[in-house]
Amino acid sequence: MNELPLLSALVAVPLIGAVAVASIRRENAEAARWTALAASGLVAVIAALVAIGFDYSPDAPWLQFTESYAWVGAWDLNLSWGIDGIALLMVLLTAGLTPIAMLAAWRDLDSVKRSVPAFFALILALEAAMLATFLASNVLLFYFFFEAMLVPMYFLIGSYGTGPKKQYAAVKFFLYSLLGGLLMLVAVIALWVNNGGVFDWQTLVDAEPMAAGTLQDWLFIGFFIAFAIKAPFFPFHTWLPDAGGAAPAAAAALLVGVMDKIGTFAILRYCIPLFPDATQRFAPWVIAMSVIGVLYAAFVAIGQTDLKRLVAYTSIAHFGFIGLGIFAFTQEAAIGAVLYMFNHGLATGLLFMVVGFLTIRRGSAQIADYGGAAKTLPILAGVFLFAGLASLSLPGTAPFISEFLVLLGAFNGTFGGNEPVAVLATLGIILAAAYVIWMYQRTMQGTRNPVLDEMPAMKRDLTVREKALVAPLVVAILVFGFFPQPLIDAAQPAVDNTLLFISGSPEDLPAAEGVTNE
């Protein structure tokens, strides 16, 4: 199994697919759709093969399925791929969500005069870039795809988005991310200059850790701001509601479901192992940002009048939980954060898609345009409620496990003083219940908006295609809600390896400093 270049294939297949689909003539929309779906289906199969061949034992090497091909020797830039448990979960999420998102947008473009092949080619290019960031084991290679993925997403929002502000949203998204990326570029170069020209991740991790001090602090900041914008953490979040609100539902599902996870994934993969001291130094600040994000975004979400913006704000709140989980530096919290990344992708992806089904029927994302919609759309309403409840982490759904682990881990944090943080963050659950239930109530229940009766589309419940593509997500959310163990098994070795950089050097811990100095 290991001899097959599966990881290269994971990147190459969607990339080749994107080129192939882009070269299909515009009139031939049907062929473009099926080619794109076939390519993303093949990616899903390869991802499944990787998951089957993956060694889940704790003493397996950190990165598996490693491959490396020389590219630009002068920069130590190689096509190096490798996968750990965290990346595996993200790859599975990406590979699973992309075909579903394509199916969700299957017919959405029929009513607008936009090129169908270009749309699906952009989704495939996005998938390739996202997979490459999860699989790259070379810092510069990661950076390449981290930046490159902005281009397809920019066109997806700006060209295929909805609403009057789509161009504004696309440009804002691009510039925010680019600014973060360029700051990271300075840090990437400085890292390279400082360590004598090494970009290979494994070499960097195996080497003597970087000396604590100002340089490490600045490098951490350079990387972290880029990732915090990507995630996005409060206060770098303002692009997400615009982008999420304007993006077509399928792209929004990928944007929030997968692309934003790259930020948190990269904090685990790069910030902690490369800059362990700085990570600890800044942890209190990040935790404060996270908790503010949880509470602030939840409050703002309650006040939203637009469904897609509301879902985007809920995601910002959820990213606060993930940040809290990572920077609490306990095993439970970090595993919780990784699971959260995976489960949030499922739940929010589902939520965005259902919102997409709803808004394309009604032609509006304004909550006020609905009311009593459940009467004619019972199944859609049911899935909508389920997705909402999963998003607020109802026990029995997968996100519950992750949120519980994060809060538990934060409460037991080794640094002390995290109890109030955990208590505050718990308030976020109550607020989440408020915005989800209220959103559902205003759209689906209550007095029926008479306009809805005049719209034939609002009487057409989920089609077979729509049911077929929400079903796997619903099943996954339920299955992992009751049996999270496979996810934990996958994440744990990588999480332990990562946290070794924090706990494996006890003399660097603030609490122990006084002891060694004596």
Partner 1 sequence: MNEAQQAGLQIDWAGLAPMIIVFVAAFGGLLVEAAVPKARRLVVQVALAVLTLAAAFAAVILNAGKNSAAFEIEGVGIGSVVLDGPGLFLQGTLAVLALIAVLLLAERRTTKGGDFVAEAAVVADSAADKAQRREDGATEIFPLTLFAVGGMMMFVTAGDLLTMFVALEMLSLPLYLLCGLAKRRRLISQEAALKYFLLGAFASAFYVYGMAMLFGFAGTVDLAGINRAGVESGQPRLFLYIGVAMIAVALLFKAAAVPFHMWTPDVYTGAPTPVTALMAACVKVAAFGGLLRVFNVGLSSSAWDWHLILTVIAVATMLGGAIFAVTQRNIKRLLAYSSIANAGYLLIGVIALGDAVGQTMFYLAAYGFTVIAAFAVVSLVRDGDEEATHLARWAGLGKNSPGTAVVFTILMLALAGLPFTSGFSAKFNLFAAALQADEVGLVIVGVVSSAILAFPYLRVVVLLWLNEPAPDAPTVNLPSPMAGTVVAAGVAATILLGIVPGFLLDLVDQASTFLNT
Regarding 143 and contact with partner 1 (CB under 8 A), the answer is: yes
Nearer to partner 1, 182 or 512 (CB): 182
Regarding 186 and contact with partner 1 (CB under 8 A), the answer is: yes
Residue 140 beta carbon to partner 1: minimum distance, rounded to whole angstroms: 8
Interatomic CA distance for residues 282 and 125, integer angstroms = 35
Regarding 127 and contact with partner 1 (CB under 8 A), the answer is: no
Residue 51 beta carbon to partner 1: minimum distance, rounded to whole angstroms: 29
**Inter-residue contact 50 to 303 (CB < 8 Å):** no
Count of residues interacting with partner 1 (CB under 8 A): 31
**Inter-residue contact 109 to 116 (CB < 8 Å):** yes
Regarding 174 and contact with partner 1 (CB under 8 A), the answer is: yes
Regarding 483 and contact with partner 1 (CB under 8 A), the answer is: no
Regarding 195 and contact with partner 1 (CB under 8 A), the answer is: no
Interatomic CA distance for residues 354 and 373, integer angstroms = 13
Beta bridge partners of 366: 306
- Which range in 189-197, 265-273, 335-343, 475-483 contacts partner 1 by CB under 8 A? 189-197
Regarding 147 and contact with partner 1 (CB under 8 A), the answer is: yes
Interatomic CA distance for residues 316 and 294, integer angstroms = 7
Nearer to partner 1, 245 or 325 (CB): 245
Of 4, 38, 185, 455, the one binding partner 1 by CB under 8 A: 185
- Which range in 175-183, 343-351, 368-376, 456-464 contacts partner 1 by CB under 8 A? 175-183
Of 170, 231, 259, 354, the one binding partner 1 by CB under 8 A: 170
Regarding 112 and contact with partner 1 (CB under 8 A), the answer is: no
Compute the CA torsion angle 224, 171, 109, 248 (nearest 10 deg): 40
Who's near 336: CB < 8 A, 6+ residues apart? 325, 401, 402, 403, 404, 405, 406, 407, 408, 409
Phi, psi at 396, each rounded to 5°: 100, -20
Nearer to partner 1, 159 or 238 (CB): 159
- Which range in 73-81, 248-256, 283-291, 450-458 contacts partner 1 by CB under 8 A? 73-81
Residue 179 beta carbon to partner 1: minimum distance, rounded to whole angstroms: 4
Core vs surface per residue 363-391: b (16+ CB within 10 A) or e: ebbebebbbbbbebbeebbbbbbbbbbbb
Of 62, 145, 239, 265, the one binding partner 1 by CB under 8 A: 145
Residue 154 beta carbon to partner 1: minimum distance, rounded to whole angstroms: 8
Element (H, E) at 66: strand 64-72
- Which range in 120-128, 173-181, 255-263, 406-414 contacts partner 1 by CB under 8 A? 173-181
**Inter-residue contact 359 to 442 (CB < 8 Å):** no
Residue 29 beta carbon to partner 1: minimum distance, rounded to whole angstroms: 16
Regarding 12 and contact with partner 1 (CB under 8 A), the answer is: no
Nearer to partner 1, 181 or 372 (CB): 181
Of 175, 430, 457, 511, the one binding partner 1 by CB under 8 A: 175
Of 104, 150, 294, 354, the one binding partner 1 by CB under 8 A: 150
Of 4, 151, 434, 478, the one binding partner 1 by CB under 8 A: 151
Nearer to partner 1, 186 or 423 (CB): 186
Q: Residue 67: helix, strand or coil by DSSP?
A: strand
Regarding 167 and contact with partner 1 (CB under 8 A), the answer is: yes
Nearer to partner 1, 186 or 468 (CB): 186
Dihedral sign, Cα of residue 291, residue 296, residue 301, residue 302: positive
Regarding 178 and contact with partner 1 (CB under 8 A), the answer is: yes
Element (H, E) at 504: none
Instruction: Cite the beta strand spans of 401-513 per DSSP E.
Output: none
Interatomic CA distance for residues 518 and 515, integer angstroms = 6
Cα angle 395, 396, 402; round to 5? 65
Interatomic CA distance for residues 218 and 501, integer angstroms = 18
Of 57, 164, 193, 211, the one binding partner 1 by CB under 8 A: 193
Regarding 302 and contact with partner 1 (CB under 8 A), the answer is: no
Regarding 169 and contact with partner 1 (CB under 8 A), the answer is: no
Of 65, 134, 192, 501, the one binding partner 1 by CB under 8 A: 192
- Which range in 45-53, 166-174, 319-327, 410-418 contacts partner 1 by CB under 8 A? 166-174
Phi, psi at 191, each rounded to 5°: -60, -45
Of 54, 144, 415, 440, the one binding partner 1 by CB under 8 A: 144
**Inter-residue contact 11 to 131 (CB < 8 Å):** yes
Nearer to partner 1, 184 or 322 (CB): 184
Core vs surface per residue 249-269: b (16+ CB within 10 A) or e: bbbbbbbbbbbbbbbbbbbbb
Regarding 183 and contact with partner 1 (CB under 8 A), the answer is: yes
Regarding 72 and contact with partner 1 (CB under 8 A), the answer is: yes
Who's near 68: CB < 8 A, 6+ residues apart? 78, 79, 80, 81, 137
Burial class of residue 194 in the structure, from the number of CB atoms within 10 Å of its CB (0-12 exposed, 13-18 middle, 19+ buried): middle
Beta bridge partners of 77: 72
Regarding 19 and contact with partner 1 (CB under 8 A), the answer is: no
Binding site for partner 1 (CB under 8 A): 71-75, 143-145, 147-148, 150-151, 155, 158-159, 166-167, 170-171, 174-175, 178-179, 182-183, 185-186, 189-190, 192-193
